């Protein structure tokens, strides 16, 4: 019998893999479980290549757990509990199973339950006509696709940005290049971008060269939702109103549409950005040093721009506080963010104790690592921010992105902490095979406590 083969020949195996027994020793293969009830026949000892039927795995209706029965004549160990011959026990994702009683020389396995989304992803196929994924300006597959409204046609970001730039020089009205409808809004379409990437992965011959991509990225202006035209016209019906009447009937949600601030006043061609926090509008400008986008997430924040323009908050002009969006060096932190160490509260506790033991505050530790980030002493590969290579202490980012940055730097604080400086209970733990990528740590508290997850994966997805 082959390893992992069901002993019940009458039962047709399921097509999808719903669980695996993953061996601790990576030189052995994973045991894939497809049947609802399956007797495991595999190696049980590192000293012998013989295969034995040693346990039976039965799928539970709730799909979140399963039942294990000891089929061998010897006891086996399940999460430290000795299980006698023919005895059964409920096991969950992350349960560690030793195929013998004393542990030494016997192989250890960990149960991994496949999520429903993982099972479905292998079966789900989306049929897309490639002709419907082409930009009508350059006639190639979209690159960094944007959608215009209300007509909902799609274009490359660089192509439409150049169209927008040229159109604004000729007319206050921007029309769709495909259907000629008036465009009021344009934004990046992340869903279609996934489809765009999937098509290029399937057929690489459709992919353009790096030089062309670089050219398009150089033209691209649309980083977040862009509102084209700020006026909301009055609902009153008036035949052929004059230009002066039209202006008086327009609401001015952007302060610079009605009044000149900082030497600038919006005109009919000015495109506008909508603030992520307050919902207010400000002109989209590339001729000022004041940042309008968070470099970490590309979302729009108005506080820094209006502050640079000298606009004072009032009842008629509600603008964001500068506390929502400011340079990294001006942010402060008083507690470890919840998303630190992949939300693993045990690792967060260890990090907090390490900081206390160092005699420093959390803010002092983060300030030190921001200097190291500036000096390129920290590998930015896993920095969960857009434009990671451009981030410096002077970069304006929002509060959410700052918490992501703090979490990233705390990982490097732990990685660079000498082993002997860790708390005794933390220094004795073995590394998890999957390191920071481990999914079991999220739902198996015992596994999260028992294994060290501040390390790189040694198997599985990197």
Query: Quick one: how far is CA 48 from the chain centroid?
Result: 44
Instruction: Clarify whether residues 335 and 312 are in a common domain.
Output: no
Read off the pLDDT band of 120 (50, 70, 90): very low
Instruction: Clarify whether residues 314 and 352 are in a common domain.
Output: no
Q: State yes or no: pLDDT of 233 exceeds 70.
A: no
Select from 174, 190, 222 the last residue of a domain.
Answer: 222
Q: Per residue in 355-396, pLDDT tens?
A: 999 999 999 999 999 999 999 999 999 999 999 999 999 999
Q: Does residue 94 lie in a domain region?
A: yes
Q: Does residue 1 lie in a domain region?
A: no
Instruction: Clarify whether residues 75 and 159 are in a common domain.
Output: no
Q: Does residue 4 lie in a domain region?
A: no
Instruction: Clarify whether residues 143 and 197 are in a common domain.
Output: yes
Q: Whole-model pTM? A: 0.63
Instruction: Clarify whether residues 83 and 134 are in a common domain.
Output: no
For position 157, what pLDDT does the model report? Answer: 94
For position 103, what pLDDT does the model report? Answer: 58
Question: How crowded is residue 98: how many other Cβ atoms within 10 Å of its Cβ?
Answer: 22
For position 315, what pLDDT does the model report? Answer: 67
Q: Does residue 3 lie in a domain region?
A: no
For position 323, what pLDDT does the model report? Answer: 85
For position 248, what pLDDT does the model report? Answer: 40
Select from 71, 103, 121 the last residue of a domain.
Answer: 121
For position 2, what pLDDT does the model report? Answer: 42
**What is the DSSP pairing of strand 430-431 with strand 451-452?**
parallel
Q: State yes or no: pLDDT of 346 exceeds 50.
A: yes
Q: State yes or no: pLDDT of 4 exceeds 60.
A: no
Instruction: Clarify whether residues 309 and 382 are in a common domain.
Output: no
Q: Per residue in 172-197, pLDDT tens?
A: 788 999 988 889 889 999 889 888 98
Arithmetic mean of pLDDT over the chain = 84
For position 173, what pLDDT does the model report? Answer: 83
Q: Where is pLDDT greater, at 11 or 208? A: 208
Mean pLDDT of 95-107: 82
For position 454, what pLDDT does the model report? Answer: 94
Q: Which residue segment(s) compose the domain that 74 sits in?
A: 19-121
For position 1, what pLDDT does the model report? Answer: 39
Instruction: Clarify whether residues 91 and 163 are in a common domain.
Output: no
Instruction: Clarify whether residues 113 and 90 are in a common domain.
Output: yes
What CATH number does residue 114 fall under?
2.60.200.20
Q: How far apart are CA 225 and CA 354, in angstroms?
A: 42
For position 239, what pLDDT does the model report? Answer: 44
Number of structural domains the chain divides into: 4
Instruction: Clarify whether residues 24 and 116 are in a common domain.
Output: yes
Instruction: Clarify whether residues 447 and 343 are in a common domain.
Output: yes
- Closest among 87, 94, 12 to 54, alpha carbons compared: 87
Q: State yes or no: pLDDT of 212 exceeds 50.
A: yes
What CATH number does residue 274 fall under?
3.30.40
Select from 320, 346, 361 the last residue of a domain.
Answer: 320
Q: Does residue 89 lie in a domain region?
A: yes
Q: Does residue 336 lie in a domain region?
A: yes
Q: Does residue 250 lie in a domain region?
A: yes
Q: State yes or no: pLDDT of 3 exceeds 50.
A: no
Q: Does residue 230 lie in a domain region?
A: no
What CATH number does residue 210 fall under?
3.30.40.10
Instruction: Clarify whether residues 214 and 251 are in a common domain.
Output: no
């Amino acid at each position: 019998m082959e390893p992992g083969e069901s002993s019940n020949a009458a039962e047709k195996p399921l097509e999808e893999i719903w669980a695996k027994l993953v061996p601790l020793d990576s030189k052995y293969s994973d045991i894939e479980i497809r049947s609802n009830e399956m007797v495991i026949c595999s190696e049980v000892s590192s000293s012998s290549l013989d295969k034995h039927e040693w346990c039976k795995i039965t799928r539970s209706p709730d799909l979140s757990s399963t039942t294990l029965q000891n089929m061998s004549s010897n006891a086996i160990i399940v999460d430290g509990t000795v299980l006698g011959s023919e005895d059964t026990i409920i096991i969950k994702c992350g349960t560690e199973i030793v195929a013998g009683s004393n542990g030494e020389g016997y192989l250890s396995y960990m149960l991994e339950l496949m999520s429903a989304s993982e099972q479905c992803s292998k079966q789900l196929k989306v049929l897309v006509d490639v002709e419907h994924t082409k930009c009508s300006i350059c006639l190639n597959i979209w690159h960094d696709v944007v959608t215009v409204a209300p007509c909902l046609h799609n274009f490359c970001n660089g192509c439409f940005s150049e169209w927008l730039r040229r159109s604004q020089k000729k007319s206050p009205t921007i029309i769709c290049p495909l259907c000629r409808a008036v465009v009021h809004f344009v934004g990046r379409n992340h869903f279609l971008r996934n489809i765009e990437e999937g098509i290029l992965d399937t057929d690489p011959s459709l992919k353009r060269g790096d030089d062309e991509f670089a050219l398009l990225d150089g033209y691209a202006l649309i980083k977040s939702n862009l509102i084209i035209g700020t006026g909301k016209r009055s609902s009153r019906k008036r035949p052929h109103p004059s230009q002066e009447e039209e202006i008086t009937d327009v609401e001015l949600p952007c302060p610079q549409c009605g009044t000149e601030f900082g030497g600038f006043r919006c005109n009919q061609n000015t495109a506008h950005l909508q603030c992520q926090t307050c919902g207010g509008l400000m002109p989209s400008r590339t001729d000022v040093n004041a940042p309008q986008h968070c470099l970490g997430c590309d979302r729009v924040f108005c506080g820094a721009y209006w502050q640079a323009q000298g606009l004072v908050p009032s009842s008629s002009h509600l603008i964001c506080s500068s506390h929502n969006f400011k340079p990294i060096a001006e942010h402060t932190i008083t507690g470890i963010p919840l998303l630190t160490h992949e939300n693993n509260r045990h690792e967060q506790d260890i990090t907090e104790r390490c900081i206390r033991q160092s005699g420093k505050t959390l803010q002092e530790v983060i300030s030190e690592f921001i200097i190291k980030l500036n000096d390129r002493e920290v590998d930015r590969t896993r920095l969960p921010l857009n434009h990671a290579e451009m981030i410096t202490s002077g970069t304006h980012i929002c509060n959410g992105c700052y918490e992501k940055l703090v979490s990233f730097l705390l990982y490097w604080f732990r990685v660079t902490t000498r082993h002997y400086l860790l708390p005794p209970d933390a220094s004795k733990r073995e590394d998890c095979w999957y390191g920071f990528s481990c999914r079991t740590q999220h739902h198996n508290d015992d596994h999260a406590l028992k294994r060290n997850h501040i390390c790189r994966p040694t198997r599985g997805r990197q």
